[in-house]
């Protein structure tokens, strides 16, 4: 399958691949520059054993593989069967995903502590109120004390959550009591952020945990240490340092690049460096330097979750999501791509060589051969930010005007929906939302999260699913790369309420909000947990009783697996659009798709077709409504919409 065919319209989605992506894919093809779609085609067909999850190379008695047809070996050299091998591989992926988010959280925590001590440059406590509220939540005395001192004590308490001497993480105090009790009964209350990931790795060593159910229970605990631990610390402290998001207007797609400006893309996940680059780009000296090189100023755009962090708090425009990181360079108008870590394809350096783009790595733990490395140091944040902007400006004269091709006009979108700003929009209490759900004006809420994956026609599943949900009066909240897809599709403006069903439309119009709310980056999925917990506590029920669901229609990463697991373990059933490598073990599949429901009140479903995923989710939400004694729609009445392009 060629990349353009793959990138054609999704047969089952009301959405199609965005025009900016298809235009740049054509440029890549014309120039002979390979992209992620070409490399996927070169890998296909994928190894069947790996796709089913039944290959293991955890030790040097192997590698081993189990014959899924039952004719060849059914045990690895050590005696591990398909169930154990599949569970071990999945558990390792969850540990990696949790570790990635949590290490990001620790990086933020370290800079927060240094900032509280007054030892950084370019950082401050932007939201003192949130810092004090967090300190109070963590049992820290705030009255009559300097803010910095309170911050240092909060940082010390949070550092302890990374260790192994506690019985429950600090933020588990936010979990509704019945769920906390359930976790205790199942022995999956997260105790230490590092501890759970390390224990997960230990258990997957040859000859440790050989019971696949026991293994996967700990995988849930590991994921909870991410959701209610590392990621939550990342979100909350980023708000303290860079401001708690409020509704803000911005723009999205490759049209955010400017043909006459020095364009710099900020890519990755951690807002620590990108925030100081935003400050540096406003420096009059650097703007003058850009003008002296013939540019009309400096234009910053975001990519992936760094982009989400900047859009949520500063309204910085978004060039695109994960699969746009190569295509943004095809515009011929990108001077600098600044990256930190996670979801950064090593291929960007090869693509950059075909243009004048300067790729700058900044995290000592994430270098790419061929990129310029400028080591991030918070003590010198602002100076480093300036150096990076200067380097990008120096690349501007190398731009070839004839190759500049910015393929689209930007689409406006609204972002900035933190829990605080949602509650503010509701008048300070969840009551109006609860009332709208109770009356049936809003049937429920669904978090559409996660990535873009070249196996799915770009953006079509996230956008198609959101469209079907909002037109059926289901409020959609989005994070990560899904949010970029929905923004590009024009679903995230107050006027987009016109695309929603009558009940949701009326609520959105009354509040002046879009039917698809941007809650931030992937670590900010914790905002969804906090909101769900607040609703459950307000109603005096557990989270799994609420008419909520999660969806990751185009997920690709180990972080996304960790997110899916903590969402399910928190009581929210989640639909995956891409098949995880578990089908070599019918028992593991059954545990995730059925058995989990009995344990945590929520489960996974896998449904690649966004039309069908919408049906699965609507049935689930109506069943939850029925459980709460709210008016509900009979299951037999819930069907897929007629295909719009039939």
Write out the binding residues for ligand BF8, residues 269-308 only, by CB under 6 A: 269, 304-305
Among residues 559, 603, 618, 624, the one that binds ligand BF8 under rule CB under 6 A: 559
Among residues 9, 11, 48, 63, the one that binds ligand SF4 under rule CB under 6 A: 63
Q: How far is the CB of 517 from ligand BF8 (least distance, A)?
A: 16
Told to check if 480 binds ligand BF8 by CB under 6 A, we report yes
Among residues 24, 80, 504, 513, the one that binds ligand SF4 under rule CB under 6 A: 80
Question: H or E element: which one contains 474?
Answer: strand 474-479
d(CA 382, CA 401): 31
557 binds, among ligand BF8, ligand SF4, none (CB under 5 to 8 A by kind): ligand BF8
Among residues 322, 527, 603, 620, the one that binds ligand BF8 under rule CB under 6 A: 322
Write out the binding residues for ligand SF4, residues 440-499 only, by CB under 6 A: none
450 binds, among ligand SF4, ligand BF8, none (CB under 5 to 8 A by kind): ligand BF8
d(CA 589, CA 601): 16
Told to check if 91 binds ligand SF4 by CB under 6 A, we report no
Which residue, 91 or 449, is less far from ligand BF8 as judged by CB?
A: 449
Q: Which stretch binds ligand BF8 (CB under 6 A): 390-398, 539-547, 557-565, 596-604?
A: 557-565
CB atoms within 10 A of CB 6: 17
| CB neighbour list of residue 307: distance below 8 Å, 6 or more residues apart | 266, 267, 301, 316, 318, 319, 484
Told to check if 451 binds ligand BF8 by CB under 6 A, we report yes
Among residues 339, 522, 546, 606, the one that binds ligand BF8 under rule CB under 6 A: 522
Q: How far is CA 413 from CA 185, 459, 488, 517, in A?
A: 44, 16, 8, 10
Q: How far is the CB of 13 from ligand BF8 (least distance, A)?
A: 19
Q: How far is the CB of 62 from ligand SF4 (least distance, A)?
A: 2
Going by C-alpha positions, the residue among 586, 595, 582 that lies closest to residue 87 is: 582
Which residue, 56 or 257, is less far from ligand SF4 as judged by CB?
A: 56
Question: H or E element: which one contains 317?
Answer: strand 317-320
Q: Which stretch binds ligand BF8 (CB under 6 A): 7-15, 271-279, 552-560, 609-617?
A: 552-560
Q: Is 161 left (phi over 0), alpha (psi -120 to 50) or beta?
A: alpha
Distance of CA 69 to the CA centre of its chain: 36
Structure tokens of 81?
A: 């069967």
Structure tokens of 179?
A: 């769920």
d(CA 355, CA 21): 18
d(CA 252, CA 260): 18
Q: Which stretch binds ligand BF8 (CB under 6 A): 219-227, 354-362, 556-564, 629-637?
A: 556-564
Which residue, 96 or 215, is less far from ligand BF8 as judged by CB?
A: 96
Write out the binding residues for ligand SF4, residues 173-212 only, by CB under 6 A: 206
Told to check if 268 binds ligand SF4 by CB under 6 A, we report no
Sign of CA dihedral 382, 385, 391, 396: negative
Told to check if 584 binds ligand BF8 by CB under 6 A, we report no
Q: Which stretch binds ligand SF4 (CB under 6 A): 73-81, 410-418, 450-458, 595-603?
A: 73-81
388 binds, among ligand BF8, ligand SF4, none (CB under 5 to 8 A by kind): none
Q: How far is the CB of 79 from ligand SF4 (least distance, A)?
A: 7
62 binds, among ligand BF8, ligand SF4, none (CB under 5 to 8 A by kind): ligand SF4
| CB neighbour list of residue 262: distance below 8 Å, 6 or more residues apart | 290, 293, 295, 297, 298, 299, 335, 336, 392, 393, 395, 396
Told to check if 62 binds ligand SF4 by CB under 6 A, we report yes
d(CA 563, CA 555): 10
Q: In what order do the strands lie in the sheet with 372-373?
A: 372-373, 358-361, 336-339, 262-268, 298-303, 317-320, 248-252, 411-415
- Using CB under 6 A as the binding criterion, the count of chain residues that bind ligand SF4 stands at 14
Q: Which stretch binds ligand BF8 (CB under 6 A): 379-387, 495-503, 555-563, 601-609?
A: 555-563
Write out the binding residues for ligand BF8, residues 252-271 only, by CB under 6 A: 269
Structure tokens of 432?
A: 């109006």
Q: How far is the CB of 342 from ligand SF4 (least distance, A)?
A: 27
Write out the binding residues for ligand SF4, residues 206-265 only, by CB under 6 A: 206
Q: Which stretch binds ligand SF4 (CB under 6 A): 51-59, 98-106, 155-163, 396-404?
A: 51-59
Q: Which stretch binds ligand SF4 (CB under 6 A): 52-60, 277-285, 482-490, 524-532?
A: 52-60
d(CA 286, CA 389): 8
Q: How far is the CB of 203 from ligand SF4 (least distance, A)?
A: 12
Structure tokens of 227?
A: 């959701």
Q: How far is the CB of 322 from ligand BF8 (least distance, A)?
A: 4
Told to check if 560 binds ligand BF8 by CB under 6 A, we report yes
State the burial class of residue 464 (Cβ atoms within 10 Å of its Cβ: 0-12, 13-18, 19+): buried
DSSP state of 524: T
| Residue 128: half-sphere exposure toward Cβ, Cα within 13 Å | 6
Told to check if 412 binds ligand SF4 by CB under 6 A, we report no
Told to check if 469 binds ligand BF8 by CB under 6 A, we report no
Question: H or E element: which one contains 264?
Answer: strand 262-268
418 binds, among ligand BF8, ligand SF4, none (CB under 5 to 8 A by kind): none
d(CA 560, CA 94): 9
Measured distance between the N- and C-terminal CA atoms of the chain, rounded to whole angstroms:
23
Which residue, 206 or 372, is less far from ligand SF4 as judged by CB?
A: 206
**592 in helix, strand or coil?**
helix
DSSP-assigned states of every residue in 371-396: SEE----GGGHHHHHHHHHHHHHHHG
**Helix, strand, coil shares of the chain as percentages rounded to 5?**
50, 10, 35
Q: Are 151 and 115 in contact (CB under 8 A)?
A: yes
Residues β-bridged to residue 448: 478, 551
Among residues 56, 109, 278, 600, the one that binds ligand SF4 under rule CB under 6 A: 56
343 binds, among ligand SF4, ligand BF8, none (CB under 5 to 8 A by kind): ligand BF8
Structure tokens of 542?
A: 């557990």
Told to check if 327 binds ligand BF8 by CB under 6 A, we report no
Which residue, 305 or 337, is less far from ligand BF8 as judged by CB?
A: 305
61 binds, among ligand SF4, ligand BF8, none (CB under 5 to 8 A by kind): ligand SF4
| Residue 272: half-sphere exposure toward Cβ, Cα within 13 Å | 29
Q: Which stretch binds ligand SF4 (CB under 6 A): 53-61, 190-198, 489-497, 578-586?
A: 53-61
Q: Which residues bind ligand SF4 (CB under 6 A)?
A: 56-59, 61-64, 76-78, 80, 85, 206
Q: Which residues bind ligand BF8 (CB under 6 A)?
A: 269, 304-305, 321-322, 343, 450-451, 480-481, 521-522, 557, 559-560
């Amino acid at each position: 399958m060629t990349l353009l065919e793959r990138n054609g319209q999704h047969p089952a989605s009301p959405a199609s691949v965005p025009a900016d992506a298809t235009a740049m894919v054509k440029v890549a093809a014309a120039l002979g520059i390979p992209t992620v779609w070409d490399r996927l085609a070169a890998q296909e067909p994928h190894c069947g054993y790996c796709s089913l999850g039944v290959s293991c190379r955890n030790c040097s008695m192997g590698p081993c593989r189990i014959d899924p047809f039952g004719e060849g070996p059914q045990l690895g050299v050590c005696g591990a069967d398909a169930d154990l091998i599949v569970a071990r591989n999945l558990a390792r992926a969850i540990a990696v995903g949790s570790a990635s988010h949590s290490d990001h959280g620790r990086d933020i925590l370290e800079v927060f502590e240094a900032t509280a001590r007054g030892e950084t440059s370019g950082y401050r406590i932007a939201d003192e109120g949130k810092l004090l509220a967090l300190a109070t939540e963590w049992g820290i005395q705030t009255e009559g004390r300097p803010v910095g001192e309170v911050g240092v004590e909060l940082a010390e308490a949070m550092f302890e959550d990374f260790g192994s001497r506690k019985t429950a993480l600090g933020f588990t105090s936010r979990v509704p009591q019945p769920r906390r009790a359930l976790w205790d009964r199942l022995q999956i209350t997260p105790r230490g952020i590092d501890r759970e990931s390390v224990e997960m790795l230990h258990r997957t060593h040859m000859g440790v945990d050989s019971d696949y159910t026991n293994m996967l229970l700990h995988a849930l605990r590991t994921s909870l240490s991410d959701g209610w631990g590392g990621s939550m610390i990342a979100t909350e402290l980023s708000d303290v340092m860079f401001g708690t998001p409020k509704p803000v207007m911005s723009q999205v797609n490759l049209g955010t690049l400017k043909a006459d400006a020095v364009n710099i893309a900020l890519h990755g996940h951690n807002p620590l460096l990108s925030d100081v680059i935003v400050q540096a780009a406003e420096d009059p000296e650097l703007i003058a330097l850009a003008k002296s090189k013939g540019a009309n100023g400096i234009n910053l755009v975001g990519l992936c979750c760094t982009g989400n962090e900047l859009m949520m708090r500063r309204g910085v425009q978004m060039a695109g999501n994960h699969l746009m990181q190569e295509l943004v360079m095809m515009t011929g108008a990108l001077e600098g791509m600044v990256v930190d870590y996670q979801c950064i394809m090593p291929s960007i350096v090869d693509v950059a060589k075909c243009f004048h783009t300067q790729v700058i790595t900044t995290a000592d733990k994430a270098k790419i051969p061929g990129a310029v490395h400028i080591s991030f140091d918070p003590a010198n944040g602002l100076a480093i930010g300036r150096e990076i902007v200067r380097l990008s400006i120096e690349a501007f004269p190398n731009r070839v005007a004839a190759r500049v091709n910015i393929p689209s006009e930007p689409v406006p979108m609204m972002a900035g929906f933190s829990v605080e700003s949602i509650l503010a929009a509701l008048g300070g209490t969840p009551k109006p939302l609860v009332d709208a759900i109770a009356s049936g004006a809003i049937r429920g809420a669904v978090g559409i999260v996660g990535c873009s994956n070249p196996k799915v026609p770009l953006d079509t599943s996230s956008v198609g699913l959101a469209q079907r949900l909002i037109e059926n009066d289901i409020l959609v909240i989005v994070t990560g790369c899904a949010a970029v897809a929905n923004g590009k599709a024009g679903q995230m403006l107050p006027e987009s309420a016109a695309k929603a069903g009558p009940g949701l439309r009326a609520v959105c119009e009354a509040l002046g909000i879009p039917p698809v709310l941007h809650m931030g980056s992937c670590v900010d999925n914790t905002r969804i947990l906090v909101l769900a917990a607040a609703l459950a506590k307000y109603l005096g029920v557990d989270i799994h009783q609420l008419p909520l669901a999660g969806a990751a229609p185009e997920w690709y990463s180990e972080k996304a697996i960790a997110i899916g697991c903590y969402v399910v373990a928190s009581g929210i059933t989640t639909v995956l659009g891409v098949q995880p490598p578990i089908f070599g073990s019918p028992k593991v599949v059954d545990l995730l798709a059925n058995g989990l429901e009995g344990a945590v009140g929520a489960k996974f479903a896998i449904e690649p077709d966004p039309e069908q995923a919408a049906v699965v989710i609507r049935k689930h939400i109506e069943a939850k409504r029925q459980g709460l004694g709210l008016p509900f729609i009979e299951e037999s009445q819930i069907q897929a919409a007629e295909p719009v392009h039939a």
